[in-house]
Amino acid sequence: MIGVLDGEKIHHDIDGVLNGLVAAGEAKAKHRHLAVTHADGKRWVLVGLGKRDELDAEKVRVAAASALGRARELGAGRLCWEVPHKVGSEIAAAIVEGTLLSAYRFDRFKSKPPEDNGGPDALVVSAHDDLTAVVTQAQIVARAVNAARNLQNTPANEMTPRHIADAARGLRELKGVTVEVEGREGLQRLGMGSFACVAQGSAEEPALITLQYEGPNASGPLLGLVGKAVTFDTGGISIKNANKMSDMKFDMSGGAAVLGAMEAIAELRLPVRVVAVVGATENMPAGNAVKPGDVVTAANGTTIEIINTDAEGRLVLADCLTHAVNRGAERLVDIATLTGSIMTALGNTHAGLFASDDDWAAQVAAAATTSGETVWRLPLHDDYAKALDSDIADVMNVNEARKAGSSVAAQFLQRFTADVPWAHLDIAGTAWGTGKPYAAKGGSGWGVRLFVELARSLTR
């Protein structure tokens, strides 16, 4: 695989064949354009990368995914990418990520293994400099993203809260990681009436999962990562429309991203301190399910009037955020498939970013840019908080007028952050079915790469 940059010759040509392909117009610098030729007993795929001054890691991930598709068609067993000359190490990392993410397949429930196993057996990265560490780290991150995707794509009868907890317990094998799991009794003991009310309609035991990691020579603020993991969301008594309800197995995508990020951060041995909290439950209708009009009390003492039981994610996150603060988090980020409104606003391209602190918002946004998981900051105006005023409790869980739904939901969450610098990522549009070449179908693992970059930024 050789990248073609606009106006530049291919440096390591083979008897003029490769540059001849460019001169003939068969190979082009247009992004993702592919051309195949044979020379020196090998097959060569020339991959359009565009203009050098516009080249970034995300464009390379996408190009690498397209190139893998062609390699798959050619039946290649071994793939070698030549890193373009005079680019940053992030380009080599992006080649690895784009290739490994697009090679991902979820075929656990196929009775016959597919003929297409995802791609070549080996990936070689060729460069003038020693990029062993860069390539190894990129492999770790990509593997963690794919692990999160496995959690996402597993059907809800197999991926219950206890299975999320088991996945978290598996991370105990990593150095520096501890894991604690509390069930229904633990929620009651901790006063988590908000989280517990979502779980009360399900026969499945909920799981409050707390992970802590301390890397070698760790410094900087204690980073708190909080993920929503509703393993299936019917909407509860405020039941959803049946159309596309099967997609609600993806309502645990925030929790999956947190677990994937913790795996990568620990394997990379980053010198940071992290506390991660994942709230796992089903949201089901039943005789004992929480009802519209009920009032519950959250762990921080806030009373909440339940207006709509399908606004359950914020109820889970409320107590999980309080728990992260109580465990000492000095910077907070929560991630959740929280509102349909964010899909209307931003589609599948950006996640919504809300934040209480401008500096922290900028740091999260910078990590998003580096990781290629783009965000767009949306407002947290006091008027949105007023929309949640309740006549009989401290706050309602949703305003039925449904105006500015994503901002109103974020204002609800902010009440549980205790003035710790906090950011909220609404990933309802980016968690699955993004259409990106390296994650076109199913779960995307969105957020794992962002959280790894954010953790790295705390060490600089």
Using N-to-C axis directions, what is the helix angle for 253-268 and 132-153, rounded to 10°? 150
> Which residues, at least 6 apart from 456, have a Cβ–Cβ distance to it below 8 Å?
270, 367
78-82 β-sheet, strand order: 34-39, 42-50, 2-5, 78-82, 122-126
Strand 422-426 to 351-355 pairing: antiparallel
Taking alpha carbons only, the member of 40, 46, 80 closest to residue 63 is 46
Taken in order of first residue, the domains within the chain and their CATH numbers are 2-126 (3.40.220.10), 141-457 (3.40.630.10)
pLDDT at 119: 75
Q: Which of 52, 70, 240, 377 is catalytic?
A: 240
70 is catalytic: no
61 is catalytic: no
CA 406 to chain centre: 18
Tokens of residue 266, six digits: 């620990």
**Cα separation values, 204 from 164, 178, 238, Å:** 12, 24, 19
pLDDT at 95: 98
| Amino acid, res. 414 | Q
| Amino acid, res. 413 | L
CA distance 449 to 412: 27
pLDDT at 402: 80
Q: Report mean pLDDT in 10-residue bins for the chain, 460 residues.
A: 96 94 96 96 96 97 96 93 95 98 93 76 94 97 98 98 98 98 98 98 98 96 98 98 96 98 98 98 98 98 98 98 98 98 97 98 98 97 95 96 94 98 98 94 97 95
For residue 127, give the H/E element and its range: none
CA distance 310 to 238: 6
CA distance 308 to 393: 15
- pLDDT digit string, tens, across residues 364-401: 999 999 999 999 999 999 999 999 999 999 999 999 88
pLDDT at 310: 98
CA torsion 164-321-275-330 (nearest 10°) is 170
Strand 42-50 to 34-39 pairing: antiparallel
Taking alpha carbons only, the member of 299, 296, 364 closest to residue 327 is 299
Q: Which of 314, 331, 436, 449 is catalytic?
A: 314
- Against a cut of 0.95, is the pTM above it? yes
pLDDT at 113: 76
Taking alpha carbons only, the member of 132, 163, 136, 131 closest to residue 150 is 163
